[in-house]
Amino acid sequence: MVATASDPVAAHTAAVTPVVDIRNLSKTYKLVLGKEIQAVVDLSLEIKQGETFAIVGPNGSGKTTTMKMLLSLLFPTEGELLLFGRPPGHPEVQSRIGYLPEAPYFYEYLNGRELLEYYGKLCGVPSSVLTKRIEDLLQMVDLLERGADMPVRFYSRGMRQRIGIAQAMINNPDLLILDEPTNGLDPIGTVQVRQFILEQKKQGRTILLCSHLLSEVEAVADRVAILHRGKVLAIGPVEELVPESHQWELVATGLSREAIATIKAAGFSPDVHGDVATITSESQDDIYHALGLVRDNGGQMVAINRPQPTLEQQFLKAVGEDDLRRTVGSLQRSAQKKNK
Ligand SMILES: Nc1ncnc2c1ncn2[C@@H]1O[C@H](COP(=O)(O)OP(=O)(O)OP(=O)(O)O)[C@@H](O)[C@H]1O
Ligand SMILES: [Mg+2]
């Protein structure tokens, strides 16, 4: 239902209305004995049409809870949620979303083809297009030969994930919500999912995914939100979250203890593991100076690198710093209590 050039007003409205608009969203689970879990805390974000947005975060950070609220499978405790400018439960919204759950569960006695037929009919896909679409989707997820006629109860974990992806596409959705899409897939499957996401992106679909595989996210996402304990720690384009490197790295081998001592005396701090020494600096001139010292002292250069920080490092830094602040805070509080 992507707006077309024949309807310029609808096209303009679709382009300016965010596909996902989350404002100050919170979700608190109420447990027994008055206990509560704050799964999502004051989350705000917008996803524009055609954007691929990823939520990354450690276990229990609120990713699935956020997705379930978007699907109106859970109700927010506070805040506002709009999809295509409408509330999540609206029938038009539902018909425009494809969802791959975290742990897809299917009716075990249906085979792959029957399962897609079942979901297709459930989503109101006309019979005239359903049969062809099912075959195309089975082909896309590599289950046409092995899986189409096999009951789902005999599927491996990766095969379940693949039929789950096909199921999410059965209604030709405008917004794809993928909760850990590479869960249980082998390396080939992981690459196929990456290609699948890039292909959907090319076709103009809006994609929201959450993943632990930060390198995967880095390869496909336009923007990323790092979620931790229900709160957004950082949000922005991947290239903004991962700043450009200013580091140089010289890797050398064949250096004696005396040679290492000479390099240290020149002001460098080589990191030595066995026969391999790594010298880092922000200055390219210093690295060439170090290279001279290596050669003059009987060593050989292995490589000069410019190591790029990865999203994973940024993620660990953001999450680690937050954990550190909490630990220090709670230590300070307990010290204050003791001193009272
Ligand atoms: N139905 C529920 N009842 C009570 N607490 C819940 C429920 N579902 C999730 N939680 C809690 O909410 C928090 C967020 O869980 P959520 O499943 O959203 O995290 P997640 O980021 O998807 O984690 P994972 O990476 O492990 O999938 C966790 O502390 C979890 O224990
Ligand atoms: Mg989850």
Tell whether 164 and 193 lie within a shared domain: yes
Tell whether 288 and 164 lie within a shared domain: no
User: Domain end: 209, 241, 273, which one?
Assistant: 241
Tell whether 108 and 140 lie within a shared domain: yes
- Kindly report the protein residue whose alpha carbon is nearest to atom 7 of ligand 1: 29
Domain range for 187? 8-241
Tell whether 209 and 278 lie within a shared domain: no
CATH of the domain at 262: 3.30.70
pLDDT at 296 over 90: yes
The model's pTM: 0.77
Residue 156's identity, in one-letter code, is S
Q: Which residue has the higher pLDDT, 93 or 308?
A: 93
Q: What is the pLDDT of the chain when averaged over all its residues?
A: 87
CATH of the domain at 159: 3.40.50.300
Give, for 190, the enclosing helix (H) or strand (E).
helix 187-202
pLDDT at 11 over 70: no
C-alpha torsion 286→292→295→296, nearest 10: -130
Two tokens, residue 254: 């064949």
Residues 76 and 39 sit within 8 Å (Cβ to Cβ): no
68 lines ligand 1 (CB under 6 A): no
Q: Which residue has the higher pLDDT, 325 or 275?
A: 275
Tell whether 154 and 282 lie within a shared domain: no
Closest ligand to the CA of 101? 2
Tell whether 161 and 62 lie within a shared domain: yes
Per-residue pLDDT reduced to its tens digit, 67-85: 999 999 999 999 999 999 9
29 lines ligand 1 (CB under 6 A): yes
61 lines ligand 1 (CB under 6 A): yes
59 lines ligand 1 (CB under 6 A): yes
Distance between CA 210 and CA 49 in Å, rounded? Answer: 18
Q: Which residue has the higher pLDDT, 114 or 228?
A: 114
Closest CA to 197 of 181, 183, 213: 181
pLDDT in the model for residue 3 = 45
- For the chain, the domain total comes to 2
Q: Mean pLDDT highest for which of 108-122, 200-214, 229-243?
A: 108-122
Closest ligand to the CA of 56? 1
Query: CB burial class (10 A; 0-12, 13-18, 19+) of residue 284?
Result: exposed
Question: Which atom of ligand 1 is least distant from the CA of 68?
Answer: 18
3-state class (DSSP) for residue 244: coil
CA distances from 155 to 114, 121, 152, 243 (A): 14, 22, 5, 42
pLDDT in the model for residue 175 = 96
Tell whether 40 and 188 lie within a shared domain: yes
Tell whether 193 and 256 lie within a shared domain: no
Residue 212's identity, in one-letter code, is H
Closest CA to 83 of 57, 49, 39: 49
